Amino acid sequence: MFKVLSTRKIASDIFEFDIEASDIAAKAQPGQFLILRLHDQGERIPLTFKDWDSEKGSVTIVFQVLGKSTMELAKLKPGDVIKDILGPLGHAPTVEQYGTAVVVAGGCGAAPALPRARQIKDAGNYLITILGARQDDLLVCELELNQISDELYITTDDGSKGSKGFVTTKLKELLESNRKINYVFTVGPPIMMKFVAETTKPFGIKTECSLNPIMVDGTGMCGACRVDVGGEMKFACVDGPEFNGHEVNFDLLITRLDTYKDQEARARETYTHKCGHH
């Protein structure tokens, strides 16, 4: 059992939890993730670390309420317990002194982008961050990213904060200016990561992305998280979750992510209906 230490609503339908998990906190590294299960009948939910504190023995996660399981998770209060947490999982990425690095984060992807951005900055790189969301109340980790970035740009689809448009517009602007950009890291919705990779490709800039395919066991055994990278099959949970963005077959990833959309919608409706009657 893992105790919930604190809960905060940080944006519209987006929550941040601190959870007691000392063994995981002692080993967590940027780019890694965990899988939690609320109860015996619970679904396994993969979530990337936003932060961890090995002294306090806690991990910090951020999630958006989308389906039945995240609706259940959002109802937890400090003192409540989560049945199982497995982690840290995934291949911890290495970081180099690139020179100037750009981190492009969208929506909830800003949470896992934070430890990676910090790692990139700590390695002696000049850090530019582009943070995007559909609208201003969906922006996550703006303050924290602002504190560690040398430059921070905000974009919103509707123009409610920062510049109106997509993260790729700002990225292209930076790439077409006379600045030397050596490395790009991106995490967020798959469609966003696809366009980030397409934007950097003509410039030949090393681009890595953190993938979020459907995942079950998190140890490479079930094969649910398989992704096509450079024409080869990889498992995001053990080979990733980070891959070369120019080699990822994003269209296949997006198609696979849509596989259970109908079942997810039905589960959400049933759960909402049930909760409405209690």
The token pair at 256 is: 């696979």
Q: What is the spatial distance between Cα 22 and Cα 175, in angstroms, rounded to a whole number? A: 42
Q: Tally the residues of the chain.
A: 278
67 and 110 both lie in a single domain: no
What is the mean pLDDT of the segment spanning 48-53? 94
Q: Is residue 262, in this structure, part of any structural domain at all?
A: no
What is the mean pLDDT of the segment spanning 252-273? 77
Q: Is residue 185, in this structure, part of any structural domain at all?
A: yes
Of the candidate ranges 83-97, 104-118, 194-208, 216-230, the one whose mean pLDDT is the lowest: 216-230
41 and 164 both lie in a single domain: no
The residues facing 52 across adjacent strands are: 59
The token pair at 179 is: 């600045």
278 — pLDDT class (breaks 50, 70, 90) = very low
What is the mean pLDDT of the segment spanning 49-76? 94
What is the mean pLDDT of the segment spanning 51-64? 96
12 and 140 both lie in a single domain: no
Q: What is the spatial distance between Cα 278 and Cα 275, in angstroms, rounded to a whole number? A: 5
The token pair at 63 is: 């999630």
Q: What is the spatial distance between Cα 21 and Cα 2, in angstroms, rounded to a whole number? A: 6
Q: What is the spatial distance between Cα 250 and Cα 240, in angstroms, rounded to a whole number? A: 15
Q: Is residue 275, in this structure, part of any structural domain at all?
A: no
112 and 247 both lie in a single domain: yes
Domain range spanning residue 50?
A: 2-89
pTM beyond 0.95: the answer is: no
28 and 125 both lie in a single domain: no
Tens of pLDDT, residues 131-182: 999 999 999 999 999 999 999 999 999 999 999 999 999 999 999 998 999 9
What is the mean pLDDT of the segment spanning 12-19? 94
